[in-house]
């Protein structure tokens, strides 16, 4: 499984479809907001947590169709499905590789980009922690959508339509966990719910995605 994880990480970094593209898109979203909203620091500070979370969510969507599609096209996915490794473990490793090349860099970049949106000083740590804890849910839920749409021509739009509704709870509690801090209110409940959503996704999504893959590979 470690070899599979290293392979997926190497492919993602070599192609640039995960790491570079997601960060560039995240930066573009954050940079364009002040042009549309205006340069008022108070307004930007109020909406900064939501904008950063929406930008991270959309950036995660960009590379979801690559999780299984390339392996499906060259036949590697069928070989992996018939290997001694459980298909659930293969799905988990691919989701982990997606998070390490997409979610983790976005979490690291968010505090820096928060400066462009006049994010309050006390919220920098929380925007990093919320994305660090919440983006695994985005990667695992996206892996489930990718498993459903694998093999479909032009399935990227369908994948987005399937996954976006599943992202809503993570988006709400992720942004809320930072917004509450900027308002001087305790964010413990929102942050714990966000962590629970990620743990729920890590526990159940590999089995659901593995089942979807088995159906598509028959």
DSSP of 194-205, one letter per residue? HHHHHHHHHHHH
**Rounded to whole angstroms, how far apart are CA atoms 212 and 150?**
9
User: pLDDT band at 215, cuts 50/70/90?
Assistant: confident
This prediction has a pTM of 0.90
Cβ neighbours of residue 40 closer than 8 Å, sequence gap 6 or more: none
Residue-wise pLDDT for 17-56, tens only, equals 556 788 899 999 988 988 888 888 888 889 999 999 999 9
Q: Where are the domains of the chain?
A: 2-216
Mean pLDDT across the chain: 87
Residue 130 predicted with pLDDT over 60: yes
Between residues 37 and 192, the one the model is more confident about? 192
């Amino acid at each position: 499984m470690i070899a599979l994880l290293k392979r997926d990480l190497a492919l993602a970094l070599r192609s640039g479809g995960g790491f570079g593209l997601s960060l560039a898109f995240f930066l573009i979203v954050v940079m364009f907001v002040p042009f549309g909203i205006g340069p008022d620091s108070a307004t930007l500070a109020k909406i900064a947590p939501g904008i950063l979370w929406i930008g991270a969510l959309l950036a995660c969507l960009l590379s979801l169709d690559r999780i299984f599609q390339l392996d499906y096209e060259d036949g590697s996915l069928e070989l992996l499905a018939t290997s001694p490794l459980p298909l659930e473990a293969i799905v988990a490793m691919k989701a982990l590789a997606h998070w390490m090349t997409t979610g983790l860099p976005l979490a690291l970049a968010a505090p820096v980009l928060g400066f462009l949106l006049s994010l309050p000083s006390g919220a920098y740590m929380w925007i990093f922690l919320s994305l660090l804890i919440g983006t695994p849910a985005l990667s695992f839920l996206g892996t489930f959508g990718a498993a459903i749409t694998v093999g479909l021509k032009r399935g990227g739009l369908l994948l987005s339509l399937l996954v976006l509704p599943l992202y809503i709870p993570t988006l709400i509690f992720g942004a809320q966990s930072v917004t509450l801090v900027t308002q001087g209110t305790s964010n413990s409940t929102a942050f714990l719910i966000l962590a629970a959503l990620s743990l729920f996704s890590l526990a159940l999504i590999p089995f659901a995605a593995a089942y979807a893959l088995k159906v598509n590979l028959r």
